[in-house]
Amino acid sequence: MKNLIAVPCFNEEENINECIDSLLELKASGAIDYDILIVNDGSKDKTKKILNDYENKISIISSNQNHGLSEVFNSILYYSKNHNYDGLLIFDSDNQYPYKDIPSLLNKLYSENQDILIGSRDFSSLGHFSKSKKFFQKLGSLIVGLSLRLKLTDVTSGFRAYSTKAIELLFVSNTFTYTLETLYQAKQNKLKIASYDISYTNETRESRLFDSNFEYIGKSIRIIFKSMLIYRSKLMMFLLTILFSIPGLLLTSRFFIKYFQYGYNAGNIQSLIVGVAYFNFLLIFIVLIYMVLNSYKNKVFFLKNLYKPKHS
């Protein structure tokens, strides 16, 4: 199998040496064969200079400005497709994930015929995670897992392996992170998703994706809701219809309960009129949402098919 280990990188002068050296060491051990791609996303420190020292051993693509993790992921997918890789694994440049688990992750991907294999962390054992962070990580994984009808324990882990089919079909439309949206996209495309319990997780620097946990939670909730609307639209439209129908049902029931009890109801006419008007507005609202969703789906389709990477 032709494998690629891709490493997103932004201002990692303190960590990138260790990251690349560990990947080269593992490759030299013969445990599994792969190529290494570093995506330098507009680093302003000495990262680019350090990467130049490895240019004969690894592949490097770069951009002059920072585009964010989602754009880096799309560039990695584009590179993987153009170079015909059978398997792709994303590895963080801050060394938080165990590089020695890479062979197990890729072998499990192939042996079990999976399309996305998530390297899942054991949050209970992570001493550098606060109690609140552990709680929200577990809660988020539970909610996403239930909405996808899958048993997932770590939906935000970036340590993931992808099959050829996943490389071909996935594309991220949000500007924050790829970890959540790709799960919903994979489910829509009937890709197989599974988890692999990794051996340990290192404590590293603070994330550069967000400034606070509240920002992270807020952005994640928006991505989950948006992804469910786009990729689980039938389920979401059903749930939204049920939810927004409640006020109309309460209004009209004031008339119909007495009507069915006594065979007539001379009162509660205003409630009936307002309730019927509410359902008419709700129908228009649902049609408008449906039209907006279809428009956005078409937009994502064209973005994917006309995509040109910002890293080269």
Under 8 Å CB-to-CB from 242, ≥6 apart: which residues?
Answer: none
Structure tokens at 282: 């709700």
Please give the share of the chain, as a percent, with pLDDT higher than 70: 97
Residue 8 β-bridge partners? 39
Average pLDDT over residues 67-93: 96
Q: In the structure, what pLDDT confidence band is assigned to residue 210 with cuts at 50, 70 and 90?
A: low
Average pLDDT over residues 69-93: 96
State the residue for tokens 């009890």. 261
Q: In what order do the strands lie in the sheet with 116-120?
A: 59-63, 35-41, 3-9, 87-90, 160-163, 116-120, 193-197
Stated pTM of the model: 0.87
Q: In the structure, what pLDDT confidence band is assigned to residue 82 with cuts at 50, 70 and 90?
A: very high
Query: Range with the lowest mean pLDDT among 91-105, 119-133, 142-156, 218-232?
Result: 119-133
User: Is the model's pLDDT at 208 over the cut of 70?
Assistant: no
The region that residue 68 occupies, defined by phi over 0 for left and psi between -120 and 50 for alpha, beta otherwise, is left
Under a CB-based contact definition with an 8 Å cutoff, are residues 113 and 48 in contact? no
User: Is the model's pLDDT at 201 over the cut of 90?
Assistant: no
User: Is the model's pLDDT at 263 over the cut of 90?
Assistant: no
pLDDT digits 0-9 by tens, 96-117: 999 999 999 999 999 999 999 9
pLDDT at 264: 83
pLDDT digits 0-9 by tens, 23-39: 999 999 999 999 999 99
Mean pLDDT, the chain, as a whole number? Answer: 92
Strands 193-197 and 35-41: unpaired
Under 8 Å CB-to-CB from 307, ≥6 apart: which residues?
Answer: 74, 78, 171
Phi, psi dihedrals of residue 118, rounded to the nearest 5°: -95, 125
Phi, psi dihedrals of residue 38, rounded to the nearest 5°: -105, 125
Q: Which amino acid is at 171?
A: F
Residue 71 β-bridge partners? none
Q: What is the DSSP string of the chain?
A: --EEEEEEESS-TTTHHHHHHHHHHHHHTTSS--EEEEEEES--SSHHHHHHTTTTTSEEEEESS---HHHHHHHHHHHHHHTT-SEEEE--TT--S-GGGHHHHHHHHHHTT-SEEEEE--GGG-TTS-HHHHHHHHHHHHHHHHHHTS--S-TT---EEEEHHHHHH----SSS-STTHHHHHHHHTT--EEEEE-S-----PPPSS-SSHHHHHHHHHHHHHHHHHHHSHHHHHHHHHHHHHHHHHHHHHHHHHHHHHHS--SS-HHHHHHHHHHHHHHHHHHHHHHHHHHHHHHHHHHHHHT---S--
